[in-house]
Amino acid sequence: MTIRYPNGKVYRQPSHSKSKPSKFANVNFGDRGMSLEEEINDSNTYYLENDIAVIHKKPTPIQIVKVDYPSRSAAVIKEAYFQHASTTDYNGVYRGKYLDFEAKETKSKTAFPLKNFHDHQIKHMRQCLHQGGICFVIIRFASLGRLFLLKATDLFSYWDHQQDGGRKSIPLTDIEQRAAELQYHINPLIPYLNAIDNIIDEKPSSN
């Protein structure tokens, strides 16, 4: 059955499967039916299994109201609700650095709407950046099949400008200039750590 978040978005069960990412990456690369979340999870599995990085998606926080105990080994949650996370979805460690990011997609062909991000995500990324973490967003223009990695500091400038009455989206032309475009690959499906290498190697504290 299809399970949806309150906002109507389809909920996907974390896979925890042991299937080699290499196998289905061969079949499914480049916008062929996987969600951006699935593509990133797949890439993270590749990075993990190849000792390149340890990056996980955090579980969705759930408020539990009622649990039944038919037996101690099989507690059944009978009433619970989706909660808003107080952080971003992904974090982990790579080359000794703390990484923290969010992944979002749009159907727009011309600009990335800022409403895809939430106050608490922006606040969390500012906090992590302040502690020396590397923070960014991976954004996909689904209709164009194009994928970018934008540094959080660049996102903040549009976010803050919006708060002051500025435009409510980031033009694709600006993203083309400021962000790193990511090309779909096989292993990993989305080689986004290459763009992180550039950030780390450029200026250690400029992310």
Give SS3 for 182: strand
* Stretch of 75-83, 145-153, 160-168, 195-203 contacting a copy of itself, by CB under 8 A: 75-83
Q: Which of residues 132-161 bind a copy of itself (CB under 8 A)?
A: 132-133
- Distant-in-sequence, close-in-space partners of 16: CB < 8 Å, separation ≥ 6: none
Q: Are 31 and 185 in contact (CB under 8 A)?
A: no
User: Can you tell me which of 24, 97, 111, 180 binds a copy of itself, judged by CB under 8 A?
Assistant: 97
User: Can you tell me which of 17, 23, 27, 66 binds a copy of itself, judged by CB under 8 A?
Assistant: 66
User: Tokens for 26?
Assistant: 């061969």
99-138 footprint of a copy of itself as x/- string (CB under 8 A): -x-----------------------x--xx-xxxx-----
What angle, 0 to 180 degrees and rounded to 10, lies between the N-to-C axes of helices 152-163 and 119-130?
Answer: 130
Q: Are 88 and 102 in contact (CB under 8 A)?
A: yes
User: Can you tell me which of 30, 36, 38, 92 binds a copy of itself, judged by CB under 8 A?
Assistant: 92
Query: Phi and psi dihedrals of 4, rounded to 5?
Result: -120, 145
Q: Give residues in contact with a copy of itself (CB under 8 A).
A: 1, 3-8, 11, 13-14, 16, 48, 51, 53-54, 56, 58-64, 66-67, 69, 72-83, 85-87, 91-98, 100, 124, 127-128, 130-133
